[in-house]
A and B are shown apart, each in its own frame.
Chain A
């Protein structure tokens, strides 16, 4: 199964190092489970117009060690509900990476992205070439995904990946 390349507008850039994703919805809202309510709160402290301006297919850009701290799932659930389709960062905190890949959320580590990304510009993730092309800018090499992570994204998340593992095992295929 092929992973589809993603082209989208950069809806927001988080330049902060060690960015704590809970800030996206605010720590006090982290236990809210209603997705519409969460989405309505997302980015309020950064740009009150964010929810109005973002559209389906947009992407996010992040800095070094994105997702550090004690990342919860609701902030990125809210972002996906608003249409965010992928996240490109300088580098990721492993716990955050593991958690969101298991949710089937496309992410890629792209050193140098902060220097060239501008809000609302378009970029493209090319999974096979393992690079990100920025509109009117350079094309940057990315860190390759492990085959398990890639397969997880291809199958829409952990459950899909594990079902694929099970059916491959039944058919005697190697993963």
Chain B
């Protein structure tokens, strides 16, 4: 049941990305290009997405447990720490270079675009590299284990 619900959520999420135009790197780059011909699409997509998820989260906070799973796993970290800042800077540079972030990249896989597939392979390699590098620092191990279950996303 948990997996089926996840699948349906992924499906709706993906349809939302497709309808909104966010699977097209040109639309994303158009939003980021504030010194060129600016495309406000991404701001509208975020406004709609934040509005709907805020309403859902407000409901979730009032319920003792999720409908299927046993507990709400709200992200625990609250510090604006160095990994958050450095990671976000690096992520932003990569996002700005081609206009793709993880969701749209995965949704676009069935287009079989060669550049996209190469991007996804590199993205997966970057994630695995971060996992390996992070877990080599012994003091970070406990943080990592906690973060895996409760990361921001």
Query: Are chains A and B native binding partners rather than an unrelated pairing?
Result: no
